[in-house]
Amino acid sequence: MKLFSRRIRLYLFSLAIIFIISSCFYGSISDFSEEDINGQKNELYNPSFEEGEYAAVNMPTGWVALDAKPHDIVWDNEFAKDGGKSLRIDANKKIVLVSEAFSLKPNNVYYSRVFARTQDEFTQNVSISFVTFNKNGKKLDKFSITHQVGNKWEPVNITTGFFKGSAVFGRVVITVNTRSGHPVWLDQTGSYMVYEIK
């Protein structure tokens, strides 16, 4: 009888582990895409970088750049995914762009992306991060992924969820590390609520 009950406990324990692992796998959430955002609200302000005063010393409204100097980031109309302009980054160093904060719920899942490209076949890394904060502005969660981009527009995307319970707002962070003479263009950013964890 003891052997039987031990086997039952091991079986139930195994089921619990499988459930937790499968939940965590879903929590890593790698199976959302552009198709899942149809009709969903874009949480980012000025996602196509079109708004703002066009000058070498200014950033698009709703975005800030860390450690960028004038002319490191410029509005550009040579390449645009949609609309008339994109951002061209040609800084020969790492540039970090940070979105304006937006409200979120910790039980929601978000698909975030930015389209990126180069002008030639020289591929470069572009990273996107999703960062959450509590009501006092303390950073809670950070999820990041890096994609290599080439001379065609490609989405650099990440799907995130299972945030800490006190998370109330988030930001999208885009990191580009360009090499001199090989600029990277960015356009059509977005962060969309695609699922609610219940």
> Is residue 29 pLDDT above 80, yes or no?
no
Per-residue confidence band for 16, with pLDDT thresholds at 50, 70 and 90: very low
Please compute the mean of the pLDDT values over residues 80-105 and round it to a whole number.
Answer: 91
- What does the H/E/C string look like for the chain? CHHHHHHHHHHHHHHHHHHHHHHHHHHHCCCCCHHHHCCCCECCCCCCCCCCCCCCCCCCCCEEEECCCECCEEEECCCCCCCCCEEEECCCCEEEEEECCEECCCCEEEEEEEEEEECCCCCEEEEEEEEEECCCCCEEEEEEEEEEECCCCEEEEEEECCCCCCCCEEEEEEEEECECCECEEEEEEEEEEEEECC
Please compute the mean of the pLDDT values over residues 170-187 and round it to a whole number.
Answer: 93
Dump pLDDT digits (tens) for 133-161: 999 999 999 999 999 999 999 999 999 99
